[in-house]
Chains A and B, each alone.
Chain A
Amino acid sequence: MYPNPQQIKDQKIYSRMGVSDGEFEKITEHLGGRLPNYTELGIFSVMWSEHCSYKNTKPQLRKFPTKSPKVLQGPGEGAGVIDIGDGLAVVFKIESHNHPSAVEPFQGAATGVGGIIRDVFSMGARPVACLNSLRFGELSNERNRYLFEKVVKGISAYGNSVGVPTVGGEIYFDDCYNGNPLVNAMCVGLLKHEDLQKGVAGGIGNSVLYVGSSTGRDGIHGATFASENLSEESESKRPSVQVGDPFMEKLLIEACLEAIQHPKIIGIQDMGAAGLSCSSAEMAAKGGVGIELNLDLVPQREKNMSAYEMMLSESQERMLLVVEKGYETEVADIFKKWDLYAVNVGTVIEEPILRVKHKGVTEAEMPVQALTEEAPVYYRNSAEPVYFQEGMKRAASVSAEIKEQAEQKYQNNWIEMLKGLLATSSIASKRRVFQQYDYMVQTNTVAGPEKSDAAILRIRGTQKALAMTVDCNSRYVYLNPEKGGALCMAEASRNIIASGAQPIGVTDGLNFGSPENPEIFWQIEKSVDGIVAACKAFDIPVIGGNVSLYNERSSMGAVYPTPIIGMVGLIDNPAHITTQMVKHAGDSLILIGGNEQAAFGGSELQKMLFGAVYGDCPGIDLEEAAQLNMRMLEAIHQGLVRSAHDVSEGGLAVCLAEKLFGTGLGAKVSYEAEDPINWLFAEGGHRWVLSTAEPEKVLALFGAHASLIGEVLAEPSLELWGESLPVAGAEQIWANALDHLVELAG
């Protein structure tokens, strides 16, 4: 039925699985000169895919600072772990599910959520929150609207059912994502130190337990599919998309969290990308041992499955456990209580190989190191793109061109410009989306979507709370990857700080085009450099993440470089919890941070006026930003800050408007700006607007970095330079814009 080893070699069948000539030769070497059979080739191809091996990005990922005294587990396990005191730790990770979502948006997004939740509870943590970061093409296109609506439905269906609140996220629309949406999901969990688990095998003769759902033919070669460019033929890869069952996942969470209390569990790992192959090979490699599997025993939902199909299936809601010999039944009984399969399918062996038996035949026998650590590593060529060089040349004229257009199209009328910005898809309220997510289940959500700059969850039984956010402005990263990468980190840190939390760690979701294109590789390199510089300046470690490459459609080119920063912060005292909206009439409004670095390249105003972004992105002084972060936390800890909101897309004007929505209050801005358009709409720098009852103290604390710009009014209008905008009208535009964009376009 499958081609034999000689045919595989002669007909270059390996190339259909994304294996290069050179890689095929290496596989043969690893097998001691023997040609791989079809099953072995399949396993090598998924294990050596970018998705599993990071073969194109390893040298880049090594640049991230990954250590701090609080990091209990850095990159390399299901998810990173950080100590938060009281014997507790927070576990989190972000992961992409872009390619599956491009061809089957509902299941693609749903299983993305399921996969990242499993990564978190495989560490022994209870998943307490999900976030997501989504990118689609513009809503004027029908296919994009379809992808958008279905992805949201998929996240909603899976997350709500599994009972993990979806507390935050971000969504952007841009033509570069036509046909290649980005769907990144992040999960945050909590664990007691003593419950920390690892995906490791050990103890010769111990048993390998398969638990969870049965194995079917879905998702075969999912990891390979995720590691190639999308094309018109991608539709035919729909069978590579997995199908999710959140009910099974919910049972699996409860059963696994119960099972890890059993002292005889050696290791536990999610069967995610590359399913049984990846989990068994990685667990064996980490333990310096081998694993022998008997596929006859694997629970199967379809008839006559081959070894190849079972090893490559990405059927969802499955885990692999290594259990001390003699305790298999005790552990299996825990899973059976939850009506889940728990079957002893293999044994830990001394020889460091993965041996797969099926119907009495050895179907595969491969060194585990060859599948994992010894996967190829590529140092790709890098070249500064032409678009970047041209952008730098145009950078000097961006500001003048903005002003010319603002004059021509809006007669410099700030009210009309602000209204226009509030109706853009980037700035519009995302209520249409987040009210489809249960953001309250587990009753820990102190601040859900659009309440604080970061989502805030209290930690039961302590005085502590967690803050979390996902951020990436890919327009900035496109225009200038290094600065843009730093700006993404800075924005995430501002959001965490504005909620009253100290940032403690980052997970990064790196989404790019093909690394084989030197200009794309340059984007990867530079944006990682920018993120690394900001991590060092802010002293925040990266504890894990995900890389998704080949985000291209053959006909349309690559997506904007989109390195998504998932950041978590810790609040020690509930009094420090801070939200976005103004609270009391008469409070002062203070702008923190200067606008010296602010600019219009990649800004929302540029996009609105020109329909495109160009030039250079705004700048940031990372040392100063780090100082401001500390100062801002100090102000919050001293009880001076009644509300805080960072200045991001749309600049100061949008920030001010958002601070008023839903409050019934208004604001009078009395600051006399030299360059009003720049002051109101330019982006960049490291800025917040806070409201306070004690302006003198705030001004004294920040010195030259703070300016009193106005006060909160009892009347619901935004008053600026003799003109006023009723808040209710502005809020309506903002609240309904997304509905209009989706429904009226249709």
Chain B
Amino acid sequence: MKVAVLVFPGSNCDQDMLGAWQLMPEVECQYVFHSESSLEGFDVVAVPGGFSYGDYLRCGAIARFSPVMKALQEFAESGKPVIGVCNGFQILLEAGLLEGALLRNEGLSFICRPEKLRVVNKHSMFTSAYAENQILEIPIAHGEGNYYCDAETYARLKSNGQILFEYEHNPNGSFMNIAGICNSKGNVLGMMPHPERVVESLLGGTDGLPLFHSILNFCQHKTA
């Protein structure tokens, strides 16, 4: 299975994302620079966190114009898994691959700390290895992770099962405690918490691992 980790100027969780995937021997993971125009041959694309283009103008607003984003649109349309974490989530929103927007945190400060999350929907290619309503501890590290959408969108996300993760204690003002959502087809995930930071017990937890296993299971099942 081949995983691409996109690298934009200013990405800084690219190495962490690559490291998490490389824990699984079945996975071949490599960086794809933003100037590339093809994602051919990859089974999964991960858009890592960081401060692409310094988060200038608006988080993710410049990165969405990178050449690789056109290829990513096509990749997403093909139904293969795409995961965007933190700044990656912001980029996916700016690119229109997900619905809603991310505002500045309610307290106007950057927050870095472990947060409790609840798995709201385990019937997705990203969450199948979790239990329904399982409580996870996954760190957040962002200044603009306050998810917003209008009531109509929320109702649709809710009824389609597109809300995958909710915060137990809302850290940033996110609408209805939303921490992670997917698109209507269910193959594009965006989340503010960093699952790639909790994949080794030495670093304080492994609650992120099942997410990577879920995606791996999905890909293997599909090819089998």
Which residues from chain A sit less than 8 Å from chain B, CB to CB? 153, 156-157, 160-163, 245-248, 250-251, 338-339, 434-446, 458, 460, 574
B19 interface hit (Cβ, 8 Å): yes
Additional 17 contacts, C-beta under 8 A, given A161-B10, A437-B110, A446-B204? A153-B109, A160-B112, A160-B141, A163-B13, A163-B50, A163-B51, A251-B10, A436-B109, A436-B110, A438-B112, A439-B112, A440-B203, A441-B49, A442-B12, A442-B15, A443-B20, A444-B203
Asked if A440 and B139 make an inter-chain contact with CB atoms under 8 angstroms apart, the answer reads yes
Residue-wise, chain B 193-210 has the 8 Å CB interface mask toward A (1 for contact) of: 010110010111000000
Among B54, B109, B112, B194, point to the contact of A245 (Cβ < 8 A): B54
Given contacts A246-B51, A247-B51, A443 and B9 within 8 Å (CB-CB): no
In angstroms, how far is the closest chain A Cβ from the Cβ of B50? Answer: 6
Contacts of A435 in B (CB 8 A): 111-113
B9 contacts across to A, CB distance below 8 A: 247, 250-251, 338-339
B residues less than 8 Å from A574 (CB atoms) = 202
Residues of chain B from 116 to 150 with CB closer than 8 A to chain A in the complex? 139, 141, 143
C-alpha gap A338/B8 in the complex (Å): 10
Q: Would you give 12 A-B contacts (Cβ < 8 Å), ordered by A? A: A153-B109, A161-B54, A161-B55, A247-B53, A250-B10, A339-B9, A434-B112, A436-B111, A440-B112, A440-B139, A460-B19, A574-B202
Q: Within 8 Å of chain A (Cβ to Cβ): is B16? A: yes
Q: Is the CB of B10 within 8 A of A247?
A: yes
Q: Is the CB of A246 within 8 A of B54?
A: yes
B binding-site residues for A, Cβ under 8 Å: 9-10, 12-13, 15-16, 19-20, 49-51, 53-56, 109-113, 139, 141, 143, 194, 196-197, 200, 202-204
CB of A161 within 8 A of CB of B202, answer no
What 7 A-B pairs have minimum CB-CB distances, sorted nearest first?
A163-B12, A247-B54, A161-B51, A443-B16, A438-B141, A438-B112, A436-B110
Contacts of B194 in A (CB 8 A): 440
Q: Is the CB of A445 within 8 A of B203?
A: yes
A247-B56 in contact given A436-B111, A441-B13 (Cβ < 8 Å)? yes
Check if B109 sits within 8 Å of A440, measured CB to CB: no
The answer on a CB contact under 8 Å between B197 and A443 is yes
B196 adjacent to A443 (CB under 8 Å): yes
**Complex CA–CA separation, A133 to B112 (angstroms):** 19
Q: Which residue of B lies closest to A445 (CB)?
A: B203
Interface centre among A339, A434, A444 (most CB of B within 10 A): A444
Q: Which residues of A contact B202 (CB under 8 A)?
A: 446, 458, 574
Chain B residues with Cβ below 8 Å from A439 are 112
**A438 to B15 Cα, complex, angstroms:** 15
| Chain A residue with the shortest CB-CB distance to B16 | A443
Q: In the complex, A251→B8 CA distance in Å?
A: 10
Q: Which residue of A lies closest to B141 (CB)?
A: A438
Contact B139 A250 (CB under 8 A): no
8 Å CB contact of A162 from B12, B53, B111: B12
User: In the assembled complex, which residues on chain B have CB atoms less than 8 Å from the CB atom of A251?
Assistant: 9-10
Q: Which residues of B contact A445 (CB under 8 A)?
A: 203
- Chain B binding surface, main DSSP class: mixed
Bound-complex Cα distance A436 to B109 (A):
7
Partner pick for B112 among A157, A161, A436, A442, CB 8 A cutoff: A436
Complex alpha-carbon distance, A13 and B139, angstroms: 56
Please name all residues of chain B whose beta carbon is closer than 8 Å to the beta carbon of A248 when the two chains form the complex.
54
Contact A441 B141 (CB under 8 A): yes
- Please name all residues of chain A whose beta carbon is closer than 8 Å to the beta carbon of B54 when the two chains form the complex: 161, 245-248, 250
Contact of A438 among B19, B56, B110, B200 (CB under 8 A): B110
Which residue of chain B has the shortest Cβ distance to A432 in the bound complex?
Answer: B109
Query: In the complex, are the beta carbons of A156 and B110 less than 8 A apart?
Result: yes
Closest to B171 in A: A435
How close is A328's CB to chain B, nearest CB, in angstroms? 23
Contact B12 A440 (CB under 8 A): no
Best-surrounded residue of A162, A338, A442, A443 (most CB of chain B within 10 A):
A443
Cα distance A14–B143 when bound, in Å?
46
* Contact status A441-B111, CB under 8 Å: no
Chain A residues with CB below 8 A from B16, complex form = 441-443
Name B7's closest neighbour in chain A (CB-CB).
Answer: A254
Bound Cα distance A250, B9 (Å) = 8
Q: How far is the CA of A163 from the CA of B87 in the complex (A)?
A: 12
Which residues of chain A are within 8 angstroms of B20 by Cβ–Cβ distance?
Answer: 443
Given the known A-B contacts A251-B9, A445-B203, are A160 and B197 also in contact in the complex, defined by CB atoms under 8 Å? no
B15 touches A160 (CB 8 A): no
Task: Tell me the minimal C-beta distance from B151 to chain A in angstroms.
Answer: 31
Residues of B within 8 A of A442 (CB): 12, 15-16
B113, closest chain A residue (CB) = A435
Q: How far is the CB of A105 from chain B (nearest CB, A)?
A: 15
Residue of B nearest to A339 (CB): B9
A436 and B113 alpha carbons, distance in the complex (Å): 9
Q: How far is the CB of A736 from chain B (nearest CB, A)?
A: 15
Residue pair B112, A443 in contact (C-beta under 8 Å): no
Chain B residues, CB < 8 A from A444: 203
Residues of B within 8 A of A434 (CB): 112
Could you say which residues of chain B place their CB within 8 Å of the CB of A437? 110, 112
* C-alpha gap A486/B141 in the complex (Å): 38
Find B203's partner among A156, A160, A250, A443 (CB 8 Å cutoff). Answer: A443
Quick check: B111 and A446 within 8 Å, CB to CB? no
- Contact call B51/A160, Cβ cutoff below 8 A: yes
Q: How far is the CB of B68 from chain A (nearest CB, A)?
A: 15
Please give, as numbers and ranges, the residues of chain A lying within 8 Å of B110 by CB-CB distance. 156-157, 160, 436-438
- Expressed in whole angstroms, the minimum distance between the Cβ of B189 and any Cβ of chain A is 20
Bound Cα distance A246, B15 (Å)? 18
Residue of A nearest to B51 (CB): A161
With a cutoff of 8 Å between Cβ atoms, the chain A residues found around residue B197 in the complex are 440, 443
B113: chain A residues at CB < 8 Å are 435
Shortest distance between the CB of B136 and any CB in chain A (Å): 16
Query: Residue on B with the closest CB to A250?
Result: B10
How far is B196's CA from A161's CA once the two chains are assembled, in angstroms? 18
**Chain B nearest CB: distance from A152 CB in Å?**
9
Between B53, B112, B141, B194, the greatest number of chain A beta carbons within 10 A of the residue's beta carbon is seen for B112
A157: which B residues are within 8 A, CB to CB? Answer: 110
**In the complex, what residue of chain B is closest to A435 when comparing beta carbons?**
B113
Contact A441 B203 (CB under 8 A): no
Q: From A157, A247, A444, name the one whose CB has the most chain B CB atoms within 10 angstroms.
A: A247
Q: Which residues does chain B contribute within 8 Å of A339, judged by CB atoms?
A: 9
Return A663 CB to nearest CB of chain B, in Å.
15
Please give the distance in Å from B186's CB to the nearest CB on chain A. 28
A181 to B20: give the CA distance in the assembly, Å: 41
Question: Which of B54, B143, B194 has the largest count of A CB atoms less than 10 A from its CB?
Answer: B54
Chain B residues in 8 Å Cβ range of A458: 202-203
A706 to B200, CA, bound (A): 36
Query: What's the Cα separation between A435 and B139 when bound, in Å?
Result: 11
Q: Which of A153, A250, A434, A460 has most B Cβ within 10 Å?
A: A250
Residues of B within 8 A of A446 (CB): 202-204
Quick one: given A161-B55, A440-B197, A441-B141, are A250 and B12 in contact (CB under 8 Å)? yes
